Amino acid sequence: MLRWLERPCRQGVAWGVPWPRGALRPGVPFALADGTPVQSWTTATWPDGSVKWSAHAIGPQAVPAGSYELVPGAEPAAPDDPVTVARAGDGLRVATGPVAWMLPGPGGTDLIASVEHGGTEIVRGVRLVSLRQDTPDEDGSRVRVPAAGVVSAVAVEQDGPVRAVVRLEGRHVEEDGRSWLPFTVRLYFHAGAPDVRVVHSFVWDGDASADFLAGLGLRAEVVMRDEPHDRHVRLAGAEGFLTEAVRGLTGLRRDPGEAVRRAQTEGRPVGAIGNPEVADRLHLIPAWNDHTLEQHSADGFTLRKRTAPGHAWVTVPAGTRSEGYGYVGGVSGGLGFGLRDFWRLHPTRLDVRGAAVGAGEAAEVTVWLWSPGAPPMDLRFWHDGMGQDTHAGQLEGLEITYEDHEPGFGDPHGVARTHELTLRVHPATPPNAELAEHAALLQAPGLLTVAPERLRAAGVFGVWAPPDRSDPAAAAIEDRLDFLFGFYVRQREERRWYGFWDYGDVMHAYDPDRHTWRYDVGGYAWDNSELSPDLWLWYQYLRTGRADVFRFAEAMTRHTGEVDVYHLGRWKGLGSRHNVQHWGCSCKQLRVSSAVYRRFFHYLTADERTGDLLDELTAPEETFLAVDPLRKVRRDAYTPDPAALAVGLGVDWGALAAAWLTRWERHGDERARDRLLGTMADIAALRHGFLTGEARLDLATGRFDTTREAVEVSHLSAVFGLPEVCAELIDLDLGVPGFEEAWLDYCRLYLAGAERQAAELGRALEGVSLVQAHSRLAAYAAARTGDAELARLAWRAFFRDEGDRLNVNPLQRERDWRLTEVRGPAVLMPVTEAPFVSTNDAAQYGLAAIQNLALLGDRITAP
């Protein structure tokens, strides 16, 4: 049974559903029991070839059902107005019923050349625009160079009958021929829908010292046919809409009549104006040609309008947080347009230009992803290096500010950002209530899901289970999980963790002396997936089905997969460790770009852009040629060698395994399968398995050298997705002898104590920490082996052991978790704080709690 994540919605949606292994054969059809037309495809398969994840789409429904039943093996109903994609010269014609969208072929600047509703052209010239500035404008001088996105490739990814997807690729090109800012745009069409969903991704490939992006937007032309007083501009504020006519008939000295005034404000045709004192003086009423709504921060927007270029702007009452939606057009048709997370992704802007043009001419609307009214985007590195020119000096810096600096490594060249927009054509000006519905759908798109119990029954994503509060000790843990999530939601709002590059991330560590997160202290600022908050949030969503958890995890996935990862250049495929700037750290590793963080969102939503990010990891092992993750701390003379690449068996192999597994299940990639199974066998063949710490990989064969006999562990090995990946691999029962035993040895021995470790390994392990985090490893081994002592160790480590900051508060020395409100002259605004919480501890507490409860929830031994 399918349910809505939040509320039934009337727009087209796509979603994913998992299936137990062996339950469905490939190619099985799907239908909805109530006869709603549905389009289906497979996004992942089990090793036996059966369907693991299916994806589905429905078009807009006038009255959506509260829930739907998905029926495998039944043929779906056909939509009344199927979406069709047909060749039209060098381009495409996409028809969704009453609306036809003309997409030109490669070589031009138009993403969409023309949009017709009922045979009447409403929109034309939909294109990407940008502005590049030559300085950061610090001295008051600047030169701005405009560019337009030129499409180089067009591909149809789906062609109906319910959903069509067209992918366009290109680069922004300036007048002198310089090209930069590669982009990918996906256009989503649904049967019977008058709107297109636009998912825009771009990669920053400029020179941070010389290129300052001063504007980036999506522009469209709207044909204006009506009299100026029958043309309308609507711009969303925090509550409703600025409701304007190009030529206003309200508030005049002479009254045109209530019927005229009401018709205009409601967006209906005014008709004949009976009062000649008004009708004969229409030419003396100003026509407002241009409107602008500017959201420069998360706390305020400004509105202004003017009659024409060369004349002053008139200020319109301002507000707080715009919903980022607008409309321009008239009683003969117009365009709705908007940007998701408009105020969260500031600085943003909505522009209407030329609304008073002559009949048959076009007004211009621009949705700015980076507002040209804001200071230009400045991506230069945030400090001068402070003399840290050698690895020794950089390690000294790590000791004081926790920043892993290296000259030239804090480069944004290759990072990306994705935005979601909408364009909706109307045959007439819609009522404000309808526009408000469209704005709400843009900000929280509809999604169909299955219940946590159904997800769990499918056997996906390893170790987790829905909450069970029947035991008081378990209920107390659930309360703390809720506390932690609620705390981060509150912190995001109070600390304003918003902005173009920042929204979706959270901070790493707290500074109680300043009552602020350490936003300006080296490696303690933006978290960048450190210790897997992404995993914590996604597992919490899986088990609870909570919409607020999903939305938080969704925003984090959009951020960490784009901004924290390189998508081209020397570090393509790698991510950056935590820093004041998301790309600032010299530690470039797969632990940040890992597929383990993206798979949830992709499979639950069938999101194609996230699929692109997963596909960027087709050969993740090759990234070890670009940079050695341990280059600053190695004691040997190792340099990356294609025949003997050093790969850590914790953080590194966990990311490799996640990428290979995902590639195999999504595409049936035999190369990925062979490297996954081969390295699993090699780990099993090592004398000390995972406890060997590192092995050497031959890129040509994809196999490890199995002769190494060292015993090494890192406290980081199992906190970047390795336990979660290993649990999935063991559940898959892939026929690799010894692999489970190798993993269970690691799980048993990490917290076993020096005497036991020495007895089995010849010496005690060094570097053991993050005890609470590793309690879930002991719990896993206990559950697999039935060892009661391991179960007691797991709960003891979770509740009481050393290094545990989230069960005994080291600042207040009390067991209760509390929020403290801080007011007064020491803070900018009133805030709440929990100084004992860091994101490292919160994420790993969350994962340990979730997995321990799933594995040993019936055997809790609380202190």
Give which of 543, 40, 550, 118 is closest to 332, Cα–Cα.
118
**How confident is the model at residue 636, as a pLDDT?**
85
Please indicate, yes or no, whether residues 209 and 330 belong to a single structural domain of this protein: yes
Model pLDDT for residues 789-801, shown as the tens digit of each residue? 999 999 999 997 6
271: how many CB neighbours lie within 10 A of its CB? 11
Three-class secondary structure of residue 118 per DSSP: coil
The Cα 763–Cα 711 span in angstroms is 8
Model pLDDT for residues 560-584, shown as the tens digit of each residue? 999 999 999 999 999 999 999 999 9
Please indicate, yes or no, whether residues 50 and 121 belong to a single structural domain of this protein: no
The Cα 229–Cα 270 span in angstroms is 8
For residue 301, tell me if it sits in a domain: yes
Please indicate, yes or no, whether residues 163 and 56 belong to a single structural domain of this protein: no
**Spatial contact of 60 and 192, defined as CB atoms under 8 Å apart:** yes
For residue 227, tell me if it sits in a domain: yes
Phi then psi for residue 551, to 5 deg, are -65, -35
φ/ψ region of 504 (left if φ > 0, alpha if ψ in -120 to 50, else beta) reads left
Please indicate, yes or no, whether residues 339 and 306 belong to a single structural domain of this protein: yes
Domain count, the chain: 3
**How confident is the model at residue 814, as a pLDDT?**
45
Q: Is the pLDDT of residue 134 over 50?
A: yes
Residue 239 sits in which domain range?
84-270+283-379+410-443
Model pLDDT for residues 801-859, shown as the tens digit of each residue? 666 667 654 344 446 789 999 999 999 999 999 999 999 999 999 999 999 999 999 99
**How confident is the model at residue 139, as a pLDDT?**
74
Give which of 503, 555, 618, 563 is closest to 204, Cα–Cα.
563
Please indicate, yes or no, whether residues 307 and 364 belong to a single structural domain of this protein: yes
Please indicate, yes or no, whether residues 261 and 220 belong to a single structural domain of this protein: yes
Helix (H) or strand (E) holding 328: strand 325-330
**How confident is the model at residue 803, as a pLDDT?**
65
**Spatial contact of 164 and 192, defined as CB atoms under 8 Å apart:** no
The Cα 574–Cα 589 span in angstroms is 5
822: how many CB neighbours lie within 10 A of its CB? 14
**How confident is the model at residue 863, as a pLDDT?**
73
**How confident is the model at residue 142, as a pLDDT?**
84
Please indicate, yes or no, whether residues 338 and 200 belong to a single structural domain of this protein: yes
Mean pLDDT of the residues in the chain: 96
Helices 771-785 and 722-732 cross at an angle (nearest 10°) of: 10
420: domain CATH number is 2.70.98
The Cα 16–Cα 7 span in angstroms is 17
Give which of 601, 697, 715, 807 is closest to 53, Cα–Cα.
601
Q: Is the pLDDT of residue 67 over 70?
A: yes
**Spatial contact of 679 and 672, defined as CB atoms under 8 Å apart:** no
For residue 826, tell me if it sits in a domain: no
**How confident is the model at residue 317, as a pLDDT?**
87
Phi then psi for residue 92, to 5 deg, are -130, 150
pLDDT level of residue 124 (50, 70, 90 thresholds): very high
The Cα 672–Cα 680 span in angstroms is 12
The Cα 260–Cα 248 span in angstroms is 11
Among 137-141, 504-508, 736-740, the range scoring the smallest mean pLDDT is 137-141
**Spatial contact of 422 and 11, defined as CB atoms under 8 Å apart:** no
Structure token digits, residue 86: 């047909």
Q: Is the pLDDT of residue 216 over 60?
A: yes
How many helical (H) and strand (E) elements, i.e. helices and strands, does the chain have? 19, 37
Q: Is the dihedral of CA 172, 178, 180, 184 positive or negative?
A: positive
Please indicate, yes or no, whether residues 55 and 187 belong to a single structural domain of this protein: no
- Provide the percentage of residues in the chain whose pLDDT is more than 70: 98
Q: Is the pLDDT of residue 336 over 50?
A: yes
The Cα 53–Cα 844 span in angstroms is 28
Structure token digits, residue 525: 């600022």
Q: What is the DSSP string of 586-633?
A: S-EEHHHH-GGGTHHHHHHH--HHHHHHHHTTSSGGGGGGT--TTTTT
Give which of 455, 452, 451 is closest to 20, Cα–Cα.
455
Q: Alpha carbon of 181 to those of 172, 310, 519, 575: distances in Å?
A: 6, 32, 28, 19
For residue 425, tell me if it sits in a domain: yes
φ/ψ region of 539 (left if φ > 0, alpha if ψ in -120 to 50, else beta) reads alpha
For residue 13, tell me if it sits in a domain: yes
**How confident is the model at residue 186, as a pLDDT?**
98
DSSP state of 416: E
The Cα 203–Cα 562 span in angstroms is 9
Burial of 469 from C-beta contacts in 10 A (0-12 / 13-18 / 19+): exposed
Model pLDDT for residues 445-478, shown as the tens digit of each residue? 999 999 999 999 999 999 999 999 999 999 999 9
The Cα 863–Cα 855 span in angstroms is 19
| Strand duo 70-72 + 820-822: pairing | unpaired
DSSP state of 440: H
Work out the average pLDDT over 215-242.
98
Work out the average pLDDT over 577-596.
98
Asked which of 443, 461, 491 is the last residue of a domain, the reply is: 443
**How confident is the model at residue 808, as a pLDDT?**
54
The Cα 681–Cα 632 span in angstroms is 30
**How confident is the model at residue 637, as a pLDDT?**
85
**How confident is the model at residue 810, as a pLDDT?**
39
Q: Is the pLDDT of residue 483 over 50?
A: yes
Please indicate, yes or no, whether residues 23 and 103 belong to a single structural domain of this protein: no
Asked which of 72, 104, 126 is the last residue of a domain, the reply is: 72
Helix (H) or strand (E) holding 854: helix 839-856
**How confident is the model at residue 805, as a pLDDT?**
64
Bridge partners (DSSP) listed for residue 215: 131
Structure token digits, residue 704: 């490890």
**How confident is the model at residue 813, as a pLDDT?**
41
For residue 171, tell me if it sits in a domain: yes
The Cα 492–Cα 551 span in angstroms is 13
The Cα 193–Cα 209 span in angstroms is 45
The Cα 574–Cα 566 span in angstroms is 6
Asked which of 735, 768, 801 is the last residue of a domain, the reply is: 768
For residue 608, tell me if it sits in a domain: no
Model pLDDT for residues 245-273, shown as the tens digit of each residue? 999 999 999 999 999 999 999 999 999 99
Model pLDDT for residues 705-750, shown as the tens digit of each residue? 999 999 999 999 999 999 999 999 999 999 999 999 999 999 999 9
Q: What is the DSSP string of 195-215?
A: EEEEEEEEE--S-TTT-EEEE
Please indicate, yes or no, whether residues 349 and 259 belong to a single structural domain of this protein: yes
For residue 147, tell me if it sits in a domain: yes
Give which of 753, 821, 744, 826 is closest to 786, Cα–Cα.
744
Phi then psi for residue 476, to 5 deg, are -65, -40
Please indicate, yes or no, whether residues 65 and 105 belong to a single structural domain of this protein: no
- Provide the percentage of residues in the chain whose pLDDT is more than 90: 96
Please indicate, yes or no, whether residues 92 and 42 belong to a single structural domain of this protein: no
781: how many CB neighbours lie within 10 A of its CB? 26
Q: What is the DSSP string of 496-530?
A: T--STTTTT--BS-EETTTTEE-TTSGGGSB-TTT
Structure token digits, residue 328: 């321009």
